[in-house]
Structure 1
Amino acid sequence: MLPTVTSESIALLPLYARDRQPAALTPDAVMKQTHLRPHEHLMYRFQDRFFWCEHEDVSSLRSRVSYINTLINHIRQTMPNREQPLTLISLGAGGLLMESFIHRQLQGYGYQDIHWRVIDIEYGPDGTPCCLSHRDSLDAFATLTAEKLAIYASDQRYFNTFTGGNGGVNDRGRGATVLLGIDPPTSSSQASGMACFDPKRMSVKGRPVEDIADANCLYLIACDPEDKAQVHHAMAALTRGDRVVTLSGIIKCHVNKFGRCEVLSTQSPRSQMMKAACVPLLEQAKATQASTSAFEMTLSDIKRTVERYVAAMADENDLYYAVSCVSDYDVSLTRLRDYIIDNSHTSLFATMEMNATHIENHP
């Protein structure tokens, strides 16, 4: 759980004078409007009901301010029409402090029709936040954005709004689109030496979910029976959402933009063994169903196929297998990026990882 949002109210300093365009943000200006609040091993910066998680080596105040300024400059240069609709999609939006600064800056530069799509596993499957802190943040952001806001628990839920036949708006058809991807603050564990550059291991940022409708990826993990507790510990850390874990005997399966199952593995012998066995089984499953109907692989199809493989392997070796459906951050980012760049309108993809900002312009 996050720190409880109290009833205190902080006077917001104006980001810009009313008779001129806003100045670029500075760390000092942000510090004057906010305060820090520790919670467990993380530090949160609050401005009234908005907050973000701050870590000096991963998502510092200075790097966040630099990200905002760089993003605003790119939007002004590549999307100069202030009257055209502008849609911003924020993955891992959390407490929306970053988004609130971006929104006010854009308003200061005259952008008039700003739409937000905020995605975070903490928001719950129906858009209802799981905890009071996020609920308060979303309520405040809805007011700030004049209700031009849609809330999703996962990228899968977001895509379902316009592929599920329920009348959702295709954001690419509205106008310019911006995707924001701030590397999860929980990856502060990477700064403590857990980042993995070993090709035989994989760093994963997935959150196991109960409802497969919120999942975009499947993890298959194999280990010796005596290491079973370590796997359970790693999955528990992912469920809490406060760690990035590194694993050796793992494959990740997800549906790519072509509707095919993509299998990612490490270079460890155990991981390679699972990939070599599962890929033909998944291809066979797709071919079998495609012969009788128009068929696009789903995560449920992948799960059934992988579980059949695990059941068959129970008689072949004495390994322990764990299958988990997850909302994987890296897969989400890839899927959303593929979505926004396949667009006749201008799009931007803006990420921040380990304090470094990267911007892609499309086309």
Structure 2
Amino acid sequence: MLPAVTSESIALLPLYSRDRQQTALTPTSVINQTHLRPHGQLMYRFQDQLFWCEHDDVSSLNSRVSYLNAVVNHIRQTMPNRDQPLTLISLGAGGLLMESFIHKQLQGHGYQDINWRVIDIEYGPDGVHRCLSYRDSLDDFAGLTAGKLAVYSSEQHYFTTGTGGNGATNDRDRWATVLLIIDPPTSSSQALGRACIDPQSMSVKGRPVEDIAAANCLYLIACDPEYKELVDHAMAMLARGDRIATLCSILKCHVNKFGRCEVLSTQAPRSLMMKEACIPLLEQAKTIQASTSAPEMTISDIKRAVERYVTAMADENNLYYSVCCVSDYDVSLARLRDYIIDSPHSSSLATLEINATCIENYS
């Protein structure tokens, strides 16, 4: 049976009797507790070592405060039992300032057992440092959450880790779950309100990774040799982690929730040609995999099949091919959303994108 899905408005709800001492956040109260700090062309709002990136067109102060209040009020309405465990999963958590405000608001409303799962590709085992340091943010947030925090560099890591009961194998059965999607990677056209609807193009949000175990998706990109530098530039842009690339001749391959390889392509002739040739090779790989003890296909299986195609085509045409294993944001979101939808308890997805809040409740 398909779960019931409902959406809700952002209107604030009445306070419960035990919440009388806790008031909703306002932009002014946030300003009074934080300070702005420029970094390059961007502005970051800090509270101690916690921070977020603030941009009027994408993630303004007002939209963030509205989102915070909407999430807290939604939890109070749909998950009112404050003595039961509550798990919040934040994809692309970054500097964790949003999460810290949500945590403190929930504590003020009487929630006792608040568990956090924060996922960001920047949370590498060695504490990756790019534009800003996340190690101090994680330390601050760990102190705030009193040990009820688990940190992951990818959703694959979350799904395969169960040490101490913090992995996905345990979370969904504990009680209510909320998935937070705050300020996902955004293209300039999205920020300006111009969505890409060209069927011959595909916008992707994949971060290239060196370790294939950290990948959840594979891109196959083809172009004429003279455009090789443009493809390489697009991959370098994606490597920053906060950018979107729009490409024409591309296949996007990942393992869906049924353990099969899903192949997405544009309507560009070259992209359709690649899809038609690769699908039989991927089906063959699936057949081989099914005869082994492996539970499902992996990105490694997909990569081997796609590389067979690229090798075969090397003598057939004069195209440049790029095979790239990535941690794709949209695939991560789809996997996490499928996970919470299948929960036996109440679960919700709360998104803040281009200054707009959307909350879906699953029951």
- TM-score, normalising length from structure 2? 0.90
The 1:202–1:41 alpha-carbon spacing in structure 2 relative to 1, beyond 3 Å, is: farther
| Cα deviation code 1:47-66 (max 9, x no counterpart) | 11110111111111111111
Aligned to 1:173: 173
Q: Is the 8 A contact 1:49 1:133 kept in 2?
A: no
Aligned to 2:77: 77
SS at match of 1:43: strand
Aligned to 2:110: 110
Does structure 1 residue 98 correspond to structure 2 residue 135? no
Aligned to 2:358: 358
How big is the shift at 1:295?
4.5
In 2, the alpha carbon distance for the partners of 1:325 and 1:254 equals 10
Aligned to 1:256: 256
Aligned to 2:43: 43
Q: Flag the structure with more relative contact order, 1 or 2, with Cα contacts below 8 A and sequence separation at least 6.
A: 2
User: Unmatched 5+ residue regions in structure 1?
Assistant: 1-17
Aligned to 1:240: 240
Does structure 1 residue 143 correspond to structure 2 residue 143? yes
SS at match of 1:110: coil
SS at match of 1:345: coil
| Cα deviation code 1:224-274 (max 9, x no counterpart) | 100000000010011122421111111111111111111111111111111
Q: Which 4+ residue blocks in structure 1 deviate beyond 3 angstroms?
A: 18-21, 127-132, 164-169, 185-190, 192-195, 291-295
Aligned to 1:158: 158
Aligned to 1:338: 338
The 1:271–1:166 alpha-carbon spacing in structure 2 relative to 1, beyond 3 Å, is: farther
- Which deviates the most, 340-349 or 23-32? 23-32
In 2, the alpha carbon distance for the partners of 1:194 and 1:226 equals 29
SS at match of 1:23: coil
Aligned to 2:68: 68
SS at match of 2:134: helix
Q: Is the 8 A contact 1:341 1:347 kept in 2?
A: yes
Aligned to 1:56: 56
Q: Is the 8 A contact 2:218 2:326 kept in 1?
A: yes
Aligned to 1:315: 315
Mapping of 1:278-317 within 5 angstroms?
Answer: 278-293=278-293, 295-317=295-317
In 2, the alpha carbon distance for the partners of 1:159 and 1:244 equals 25
- Which deviates the most, 273-282 or 139-148? 273-282
Mapping of 1:259-270 within 5 angstroms?
Answer: 259-270=259-270
Q: Is the 8 A contact 2:150 2:166 kept in 1?
A: no
| Cα deviation code 1:262-318 (max 9, x no counterpart) | 111111111111111111211111112323545411111001111111111111111
How big is the shift at 1:185?
5.3
SS at match of 2:161: helix
Aligned to 1:227: 227
In 2, the alpha carbon distance for the partners of 1:293 and 1:148 equals 35
The 1:143–1:225 alpha-carbon spacing in structure 2 relative to 1, beyond 3 Å, is: same
Residue identity over aligned pairs, in percent, reads 76
In 2, the alpha carbon distance for the partners of 1:166 and 1:175 equals 14
How big is the shift at 1:343?
1.0
Total equivalences in the alignment? 344
The 1:135–1:43 alpha-carbon spacing in structure 2 relative to 1, beyond 3 Å, is: same
Aligned to 1:122: 122
- In structure 1, what residue type is equivalent to 2:357? T
Q: Cα RMSD (Å) of the superposition?
A: 2.1
- In structure 2, what residue type is equivalent to 1:134? Y
SS at match of 2:348: strand
In 1, the alpha carbon distance for the partners of 2:332 and 2:68 equals 22
Q: Is the 8 A contact 1:57 1:188 kept in 2?
A: no
The 1:247–1:287 alpha-carbon spacing in structure 2 relative to 1, beyond 3 Å, is: same
